[in-house]
């Protein structure tokens, strides 16, 4: 390595949205380096950020707050140094999940639960030590929640460095924050009253899931189902050669195949939104032990149920220290099913593109291949498939692990739960990629027609079925002998029909049949797709 003070190189940290530039220098002297962030004042259209890995003492949280205002403390500035592509390369597609599943988001929801619990206690007459709070005090506490900022979250992290406990740090933060309001200052010790950390955490996660799905994930799922449904209706009439086992099969229509996916995905979305998000608030081992000792006459299970349901979460009465996460397993398994169907869709579209059934609308300046100028790769569907595989691996792992906890509590779920946003982040990235790919699709009807024109053998199915109707012996065997291993043309198939012992009316109907017309009820089914799904009501956690 070069001498102290030397730089190994410089590069621009840039993205389409942030247009940042920066310099990275790596200096010797220690086995680890602290990343320091030094934003500087810039114009409204762009900003300059110096990123250095130095051997200086660790930058304190206070210094970081002074250097980074909330406006500039946007992780997008530092995309090129992120370990996860969700916060780096793909940040523009995933950043809407940050308020829910980032460390900031988790802390924010914890603060909300703690504040709401104090407000609940103030409304219980038997708890005289916490008199009903005035409107001013209630407004003050609500503002603590509503105005919770990045700097507030950093303050909690500073406290966590001392406590080595993330939930206790939230309690201490609230005590510090509320000392300035005399009425609330009198009841500071009732923050976190009779709570175990998991009383706070389980509700924080449930709230983050509910809000993230209702505001971000469900709307994109609905948009995706709608886009595929529109593909179905717009292309309901376009005949297409089916392939079963990769071989030419009875024709369908392009729209009908899209309708299949629209219905499957919508059905999974509806099932997903039926999952009950559950919460507990029953103390250290789920029995209200401390509650009962402090206030023996209060019906604590009833109070806990009122509190949990007031947050919009359904109450789970039978728990240990933790809410057992069974609903999360149901939720994540449901998402895995939705994602698996979308993988199936992506692969089919990929194949249709490779057959030439779809062209992809090109964009000026875009490159499909670094060496083959003619290529337009189906990258959106490939990107989606890859991210769905990652999402399903993570979400399946969460579903398998989270319902298991030794005795009344172990901490294996704690670190695992922090990856919910990763699984959902890869999912939302995949949904958006598929949507982007759909917008580029352009049907190539002539190519679809060509494939059908080369597949007259698919009419062997209706011919042998009509033969059965009129009692012609061994119809299947006759068609098998006629078609297998032979090139079947329009002429040869009509010659075969002409030689059959069938009523003239039946022969006439078969003679006008073509692979392009042999689509059954496919067109009608595709056009009626909206009757099979309910996207107007949407998916939502109530």
Verdict on whether the full-model pTM lies above 0.95: no
Q: Are 359 and 444 in contact (CB under 8 A)?
A: yes
pLDDT of residue 289 exceeding 70: yes
- Give the span between the Cα atoms of 239 and 262, in whole angstroms: 18
pLDDT tier at 309, thresholds 50, 70, 90: very high
Residue 542 is predicted with a pLDDT of 87
pLDDT score, position 369: 58
pLDDT of 4 above 70: no
Confidence of residue 413 (pLDDT cuts 50, 70, 90): confident
Give me the pLDDT at residue 367, please: 59
How distant is the alpha carbon of residue 409 from its chain centre? 29
The predicted structure's pLDDT at residue 416: 92
Confidence check: pLDDT of 64 > 80 = no
CB 443 within 8 A of CB 358: yes
Task: List strand residue ranges (DSSP E) for 358-458, in order.
Answer: 358-360, 441-443
What domains, with CATH codes, occur in the chain?
Answer: 97-193 (1.10.275.10), 196-363+375-541 (1.20.200.10)
Q: pLDDT-derived band of residue 60, with 50, 70 and 90 as boundaries? A: very low
Question: What is the pLDDT at residue 83?
Answer: 85
Mean pLDDT of 346-370: 83
C-alpha closest to that of 191 among 169, 208, 209, 217: 169
Quick one: pLDDT at residue 366? 64
Give me the residues paired with residue 239 across strands.
Answer: 253
Q: Once rounded to an integer, what is the mean pLDDT over residues 192-212? A: 95
pLDDT digits (tens, 9 = 90+) for 326-349: 999 999 999 999 999 999 999 999
Q: Is the pLDDT of residue 368 over 90?
A: no
Query: For residue 365, what pLDDT is reported?
Result: 59
pLDDT on residue 79 = 64
User: What are the pLDDT digits (tens) for 429-472?
Assistant: 999 999 999 999 999 999 999 999 999 999 999 999 999 999 99
| Catalytic residue list | 245, 369
Overall average pLDDT of the 291-296 stretch: 96
What percent of the chain has pLDDT above 90? Answer: 72
Q: What is the pLDDT of residue 34?
A: 35
Cite the beta strand spans of 199-260 per DSSP E. 239-244, 247-253
The residue among 270, 271, 237, 234 whose CA lies nearest residue 253 is: 237
- Residue 370: is its pLDDT beyond 80? no
Distance of CA 294 to the CA centre of its chain: 43
CA 146 to chain centre: 26
Sorting pLDDT into bands at 50, 70 and 90, what band is 144? very high
Average pLDDT, the chain: 85
Q: Which of 38-52, 117-131, 254-268 has the lowest mean pLDDT?
A: 38-52
Nearest to 93 by CA among 432, 438, 440: 432
Cβ atoms of 184 and 122 closer than 8 Å? no
Query: Which two structure tokens, joined as six digits, stand for 376?
Result: 């337009």
Regarding beta strands 278-279 and 314-315, do their DSSP bridges make them parallel or antiparallel, or are they unpaired? parallel
pLDDT of residue 481: 87
């Amino acid at each position: 390595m070069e001498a102290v003070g030397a730089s190994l190189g410089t590069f621009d940290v840039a993205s389409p949205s942030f247009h940042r530039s920066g310099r990275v220098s790596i200096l010797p002297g220690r086995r680890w380096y602290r990343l320091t962030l030094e934003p500087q004042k810039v114009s409204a259209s762009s900003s300059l950020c110096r990123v250095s890995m130095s051997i200086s003492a660790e930058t304190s949280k206070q210094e970081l707050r002074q250097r980074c205002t909330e406006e500039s403390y946007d992780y997008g500035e530092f995309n090129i140094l992120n370990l996860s592509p969700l916060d780096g390369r793909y940040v523009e597609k995933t950043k809407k999940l940050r308020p829910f599943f980032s460390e900031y988001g988790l802390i924010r929801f914890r603060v909300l639960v703690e504040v709401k619990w104090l407000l609940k206690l103030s409304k219980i007459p038997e708890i005289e030590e916490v008199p009903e709070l005035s409107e001013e005090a209630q407004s003050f506490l609500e503002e603590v929640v509503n105005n919770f900022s990045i700097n507030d979250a950093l303050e909690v992290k500073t406290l966590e460095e001392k406590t080595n406990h993330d939930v206790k740090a939230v309690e201490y933060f609230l005590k510090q924050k509320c000392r300035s309001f005399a009425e609330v200052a009198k009841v500071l010790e009732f923050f976190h009253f009779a709570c175990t950390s998991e009383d706070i955490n389980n509700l924080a996660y449930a709230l983050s899931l509910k809000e993230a799905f209702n505001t971000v994930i469900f709307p994109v799922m609905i948009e995706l189902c709608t886009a595929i449904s529109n593909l179905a209706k717009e292309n309901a009439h376009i005949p297409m050669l089916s392939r079963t086992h990769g071989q030419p099969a009875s024709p369908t229509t392009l729209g009908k195949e899209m309708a299949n996916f629209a219905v499957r995905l919508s059905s999974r979305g509806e099932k997903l939104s039926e999952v009950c998000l559950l919460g507990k608030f029953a103390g250290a081992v789920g029995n209200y032990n401390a509650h009962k000792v402090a206030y023996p006459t209060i019906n604590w299970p009833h109070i806990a149920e009122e509190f949990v349901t007031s947050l919009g979460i359904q109450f789970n009465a039978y728990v240990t220290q933790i809410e057992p996460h069974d609903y999360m397993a149901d939720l994540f398994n449901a998402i895995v099913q939705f994602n698996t169907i979308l993988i199936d869709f992506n692969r089919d579209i990929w194949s249709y593109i490779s057959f030439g059934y779809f062209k992809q609308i090109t964009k000026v300046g875009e490159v499909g291949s670094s060496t083959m100028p003619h290529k337009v790769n189906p990258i959106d569907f490939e990107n989606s498939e890859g991210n769905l595989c990652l999402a399903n691996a993570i979400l399946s792992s969460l579903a398998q692990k989270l319902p298991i906890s030794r005795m009344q509590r172990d901490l294996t779920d704690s670190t695992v739960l922090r990856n919910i946003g990763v699984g959902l982040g890869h999912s939302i990235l995949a949904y958006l990629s598929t949507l982007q790919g759909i917008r580029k699709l352009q049907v190539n009807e002539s190519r679809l027609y060509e494939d059908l024109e080369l597949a007259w053998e698919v009419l062997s199915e209706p011919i042998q079925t009509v033969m059965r109707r009129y009692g012609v012996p061994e119809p299947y065997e006759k068609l098998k002998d006629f078609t297998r291993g032979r090139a079947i043309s329009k002429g040869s198939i009509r010659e075969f029909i002409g030689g059959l012992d069938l009523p003239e009316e039946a022969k006439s109907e078969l003679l006008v049949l073509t692979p392009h017309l042999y689509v059954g009820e496919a067109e009608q089914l595709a056009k009626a797709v909206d009757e099979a799904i309910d996207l107007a009501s949407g998916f939502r956690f109530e």
